[in-house]
């Protein structure tokens, strides 16, 4: 008896859904809102996979060398002043002069390579940098420090390198035609990574020239700090996809076949620290210029953009189903809406999985074709008409093609998307303007 009651209740609900399109519409809208749950799960999965790719990049960079920034070279010269306190006792205080180069030139070539970490690719490079320039010792006169207290023989030249693991060969420098070798660390620094070399200065020499070569391994990006009064940087690479970043864009750049080259001309007035100072600590690492080697197609970024349209895809398909119900006088069970909605939400998961192993565009059309075929095969017994199924297939191909075009656009995606949605909604309004929504069953 209890089973019969349950069956009769289910039959009454089914009959109610068949008779009332208003109730069916409410149920479809509720299902559509529930479809946001699997869609949000796919979106969260895209973030997780992107984080996994970033973790793989970090693991490789720990063994190769991380994103690199070079600051220097610059001079630090100690000096000692003598004081007498109120009791006539003599005491000394130590200070340091920091002097930036008058001119700095860096010519660099980035030899790129791609390493695999599982299924993830990491962009690495080996930078071959030629560094040369000069120091104008007359700048120290601006500090009005007596030459007799300056310890010229204890001067040091510093070169900051953000990740010392990337140094591939021993570092040497030509200092006024004298070969000197860098040593590890920067004395007196607070956690700054780099190398230094002690140099003996002659207060009678007004200019010191330097030159050297650095072979440096890094991951994805390299930046150069314009510590000179006048700076000339030139970087080139055979990696075609790049993004200039940092304090200033290049003055000139050109795309090669393959690769690029770029030139920066930066003056001391473009940064926020002086040419020479005493004792003060200035932040000299925030004016760097440089370039990032990026992937030609970031499929995680495109997957993020694709998932934004997941609600639109499911809503469009539900709308098509609902209008077929009205137009062909058929009744589609809510379970069919649920299955079709889940299938379309699964499209974005399949797209993510395929794009990790092949190109995004190819993955998109493989996943779209599979889902169009499955939905159309499923809809054949529901519509009971091949022409109606053909119309459904055409509409699905249209919506997938429309979203594909939006994903290829960047600057105009919002404009084209807004116009497209307006056109689709206008077409639906015009197509449904003769429908008697109070008499959908065609009763007198």
Give the pLDDT of the chain (444 residues) as one tens digit per residue. Answer: 444 445 566 566 666 666 666 777 788 889 999 999 999 999 999 999 989 988 988 899 889 999 999 999 999 999 999 888 888 888 899 999 999 999 999 999 999 999 988 888 899 999 999 999 999 999 999 998 998 999 999 999 999 999 999 998 889 999 998 999 999 999 877 778 999 999 999 999 999 999 999 999 999 999 999 999 999 999 999 998 999 999 999 999 999 888 999 999 999 999 999 999 998 888 898 999 999 999 877 788 899 989 989 998 999 999 889 888 887 778 888 889 999 999 999 999 999 999 998 889 999 999 999 999 999 999 999 988 899 999 999 999 999 999 999 988 877 888 888 998 899 889 888 888 877 776 665 554
Domain-embedded: residue 7: yes
Domain-embedded: residue 337: yes
73 and 203 together in one domain: yes
91 and 175 together in one domain: yes
316 and 286 together in one domain: no
Instruction: Confirm whether pTM is higher than 0.85.
Output: no
159 and 17 together in one domain: no
Q: Render pLDDT for 23-55 as a digit per residue (tens, 0 to 9).
A: 777 888 899 999 999 999 999 999 999 899 889
Domain-embedded: residue 74: yes
Domain-embedded: residue 55: no
40 and 70 together in one domain: no
108 and 197 together in one domain: yes
CA distance 229 to 100: 7
Domain extent, residue 248, equals: 66-296
73 and 209 together in one domain: yes
152 and 235 together in one domain: yes
211 and 283 together in one domain: yes
Domain-embedded: residue 346: yes
* Residue labelled with tokens 């993830």: 120
CATH no. for residue 174? 2.60.40
Domain-embedded: residue 114: yes
Among residues 296, 330, 349, the one where a domain terminates is 296
Number of CB atoms found within 10 A of residue 161's CB: 24
334 and 409 together in one domain: yes
Domain-embedded: residue 342: yes
Count structural domains, the chain.
2
Among residues 296, 324, 348, the one where a domain terminates is 296
242 and 192 together in one domain: yes
Q: Render pLDDT for 149-178 as a digit per residue (tens, 0 to 9).
A: 999 999 999 999 999 999 988 899 999 989
291 and 372 together in one domain: no
Domain-embedded: residue 56: no
Among residues 296, 313, 334, the one where a domain terminates is 296
């Amino acid at each position: 008896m209890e089973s019969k009651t349950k069956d009769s209740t289910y039959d009454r609900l089914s009959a109610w859904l068949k008779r009332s399109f208003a109730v069916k519409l409410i149920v479809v809208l509720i299902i559509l809102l529930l479809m946001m749950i699997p869609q949000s799960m796919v979106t969260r999965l895209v973030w997780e996979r992107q984080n996994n790719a970033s973790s793989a990049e970090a693991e490789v960079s720990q063994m190769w060398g991380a994103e690199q920034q070079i600051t220097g070279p610059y001079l630090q010269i100690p000096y000692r002043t003598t004081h007498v306190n109120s009791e006539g006792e003599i005491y000394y205080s130590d200070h340091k002069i920091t002097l930036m180069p008058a001119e700095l030139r860096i010519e660099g070539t980035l030899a790129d390579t791609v390493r695999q970490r599982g299924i993830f690719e990491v962009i690495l490079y080996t930078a071959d940098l030629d560094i040369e320039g000069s120091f104008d010792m007359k700048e120290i006169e601006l500090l009005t420090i007596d030459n007799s207290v300056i310890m010229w023989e204890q001067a040091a030249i510093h070169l900051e390198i953000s990740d010392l693991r990337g140094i591939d060969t021993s570092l040497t420098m030509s200092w006024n035609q004298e070969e000197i070798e860098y040593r590890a660390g920067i004395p007196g620094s607070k956690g700054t990574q780099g190398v230094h070399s002690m140099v003996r200065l002659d207060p009678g020499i007004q200019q010191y020239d330097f030159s050297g070569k650095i072979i440096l391994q890094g991951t994805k990006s390299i930046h150069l700090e314009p510590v000179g009064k006048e700076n000339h940087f030139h970087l080139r690479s055979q990696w075609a996809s790049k993004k200039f970043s940092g304090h200033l864009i290049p003055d000139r750049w050109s795309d090669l076949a393959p690769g690029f080259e770029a030139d920066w001309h930066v003056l001391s007035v473009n940064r926020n620290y002086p040419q020479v100072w005493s004792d003060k600590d200035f932040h000299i690492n925030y004016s760097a210029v440089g370039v990032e080697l990026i992937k030609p197609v970031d499929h995680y970024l495109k997957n993020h953009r694709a998932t934004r349209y997941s609600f639109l895809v499911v809503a469009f398909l539900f709308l098509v189903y609902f209008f077929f119900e009205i137009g062909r006088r058929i009744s589609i069970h809510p379970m069919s809406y649920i299955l079709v909605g889940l299938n379309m939400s699964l499209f974005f998961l399949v797209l993510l999985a395929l794009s990790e192993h092949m190109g995004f565009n190819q993955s998109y059309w493989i996943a779209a074709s599979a889902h169009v075929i499955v939905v159309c095969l499923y809809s054949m017994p529901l519509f009971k008409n091949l022409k109606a199924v053909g119309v459904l297939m055409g509409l699905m191909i249209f919506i997938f093609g429309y979203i594909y075009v939006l994903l290829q656009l960047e600057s105009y995606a919002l404009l084209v998307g807004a116009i497209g949605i307006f056109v689709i909604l206008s077409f639906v309004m015009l197509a449904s303007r003769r429908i008697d929504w109070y008499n959908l069953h065609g009763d007198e």
